[in-house]
Amino acid sequence: MKYENNIAFAQELDKQDRLKHFREQFYIPPVNGKDSIYLCGNSLGLQPKTARAAVEQEFLDWQNLGVEGHFHGTNPWLHYHEYLEEKEARVVGARPFEVVVMNNLTTNLHLMLVSFYQPTPQRYKIITEAGAFPSDQYALETQVKYHGFNPDDAIIELSPRPGEYTLHTEDILATIEAHGSEVALIMMGGINYYTGQVFDMAAITKAGHAIGAYVGFDLAHAAGNIVLNLHDWEVDFAVWCTYKYLNSGPGGVSGTFVHENHGNNFSLPRFGGWWGHNKEERFQMRKGFKPMAGAAGWQLSNASIFTMAIHKASLDIFDAATMPALRQKSEQLTGFLEYLINDIGVGEDILQIITPSNPAQRGCQLSLLINKNGREVFQKLTDAGIIVDWREPNVIRVAPTPLYNTFADVFYFIQVLKGSLLQPKIK
């Protein structure tokens, strides 16, 4: 697409947008009495207008039915995770029995590591990206220690080349091959939270399997953002939150993927819980854990109904919009954003985009390295009613989200950014 730097062009793109009606299905936070320009869906997605009614329905069933809501409610709670399987699977490119919605992301990551990190004295190392989200770092560190290994030795971190911010796929694959039989697990983010780089999950998975390692991904910044094909890529496991691009509320429930190659492997080590037990025998209250087939066999406790109700409402929107259509608009929005940033005309000594310019290597987030007075620039954006987020030491993350952001949002953001960068005191 050939972009133009004017508001009329942005408005024409909005007029042509086939997904524009979805914006009306979300609450846009007000700032100073008018809608903000919300470019922070990579941190917390906006509230669907259907979310309140979805939760209210469960309150009503609790009010009117009490415990019988498990069996006779509008959405009987006993089966609640099953209502989400098909739509969740379409978001991440999986088969329905390969996904389950439960717990929170890091809890699910630990549950996956119980099954897929089984180190031996010879094969005990984990490959991950340097600068992974801290929660992932802590999970890997503590799992390694739990098994009696030293994280400094057992965890191999993939770092960018000198002077660069993102990883080269060939460097990732070369590291996997070089460590070969020492590697038990490759565990990375599908998208790096800081730089916004999308990793080649298909190639990484293939390389990991070639050396005999398991491969898993944290998709917190990928689910609902890019088109995923977890089943076809033969990823062993994945986890993701639902409160970012999936718009399911602060601290919302998490999703988990376990490939069918493992879902029926009942000898695979795992922690057991009542809700993961064979549901035909669950209420017989007998000893002896018999996991359900598929990802559902990793459940521990009964569903967190209210958070799952919000997620159910959001999944309905995604299913109507479809991930391919959202991705197409996302690439246009982010391309427009990149074009306008480059058109500001400042040098890298002031501003630098550290997210890859190749659309296949990024989602809808661009990370802007602000090399002079970054905090002041961020504050001026905030004061102008533009909601983005700041990451230390000097990065502003900007995420035009296709469900509710417009091309006009992007244009107005750039006007404020440009004015903030070109102030006399910022030299």
Residue 283 is predicted with a pLDDT of 86
* Residue 1 pLDDT grade (very low, low, confident, very high; cuts 50, 70, 90): confident
What pTM value is reported for the model?
0.96
How much is the pLDDT for 150?
A: 98
Question: What is the fold, at CATH topology level, of the domain defined by 75-320?
Answer: Aspartate Aminotransferase; domain 2 (3.40.640)
pLDDT tier at 427 (50, 70, 90 boundaries)? very low
Q: How far apart are CA 153 and CA 144, in angstroms?
A: 10
Cβ–Cβ under 8 Å, residues 245 and 42: yes
Q: At what angle do helices 51-65 and 305-321 cross, to 10 degrees?
A: 140
Average confidence score pLDDT of the chain: 96
pLDDT digits 0-9 by tens, 242-266: 999 999 999 999 999 999 999 999 9
Report the pLDDT value the prediction gives residue 79, as an integer from 0 to 100. Answer: 94
Q: How do residues 144-156 score in pLDDT, each as one tens digit? A: 999 999 999 999 9
Residue 378: per-residue pLDDT: 96
How does residue 206 score in pLDDT terms, banded at 50, 70 and 90? very high
Give the pLDDT confidence score for residue 426 in this predicted structure: 43
Break the chain into its structural domains and give their ranges.
7-48+324-421, 75-320
pLDDT of 81 above 80:
yes
The answer to whether residue 424 scores a pLDDT higher than 60 is no
Query: Does the domain at residues 7-48+324-421 carry the CATH identifier 3.90.1150.10?
Result: yes
- β-sheet bridge partners, residue 157: 128
Decide: 89 and 344 in contact? Cβ < 8 Å.
no
In this prediction, residues 193-219 reach a mean pLDDT of: 98
